A and B are shown apart, each in its own frame.
Chain A
Amino acid sequence: DTEVTQTPKHLVMGMTNKKSLKCEQHMGHRAMYWYKQKAKKPPELMFVYSYEKLSINESVPSRFSPECPNSSLLNLHLHALQPEDSALYLCASSQVGRGLANNEQFFGPGTRLTVL
């Protein structure tokens, strides 16, 4: 299984809602990532988990709260979002370590989020 799955595919939420994005992989990868991608822009890194511990937080507002409950799952909890947070949210995973073979990131199809 070389797939990263994300649910839901599309999400529309109001500014007072609480919702969660989910990501799952069964490749045995111990690094997982959240990226945000605005239209016609490259993905921007938000968070990195390594061995289920948060290792990078790229100064993301606290209305985004990541969670890694186990080595296969990654969640992104959303609360009190703003319309400018509307974007494609991409999850990725990779192996961890210094070996050259460990560098490939596998991306999920993304969740397209619209905040009204």
Chain B
Amino acid sequence: GDSVTQMEGPVTLSEEAFLTINCTYTATGYPSLFWYVQYPGEGLQLLLKATKADDKGSNKGFEATYRKETTSFHLEKGSVQVSDSAVYFCAVRYNQAGTALIFGKGTTLSVSS
């Protein structure tokens, strides 16, 4: 079936370090791809999305590019901050009415000053 694979965490970085969190998906068709972030004690917030091949989603310094040839949507940020410490979920959704999100297992990011 459809699935999303994220790199296992936790990821521990120093402030201003470069971040990459890998995400790959199994695809039948042309899904939309998302990164959600969950800060401690809160619900999920959409961080960025891409809806077709080669699209780049970006927000708050984070970027991810929809790579259909490698079925990947890796999250990157050039310089992380302590406030970026959170759990990051990669997710896919297929373009069908009522189809819910399929989430990866989540990657915990901890940034220290």
Instruction: Decide if B49 touches A42 in the complex (CB within 8 Å).
Output: no
Given contacts A56-B100, A96-B98, A104-B49, contact A110 B32 (CB under 8 A): no
Q: How many residues of B sit at the interface, in one of the four size bands? A: 20 to 34
Alpha-carbon distance between A90 and B41 when the two chains are bound, in angstroms:
12
State the interface size on chain A (CB cutoff 8 A): 29
A-B contact pairs, 5 of them (CB 8 A): A31-B97, A33-B100, A42-B105, A48-B100, A104-B49
Q: A42-B89, A98-B97 provided; 15 other pairs, C-beta below 8 A?
A: A33-B100, A41-B106, A42-B105, A45-B101, A50-B97, A56-B98, A90-B44, A98-B96, A99-B95, A100-B51, A104-B34, A104-B49, A107-B44, A109-B42, A110-B42
A interface residues with partner B (beta carbon < 8 Å):
6, 31, 33, 40-43, 45, 48, 50, 55-56, 88, 90, 92, 96-101, 103-110
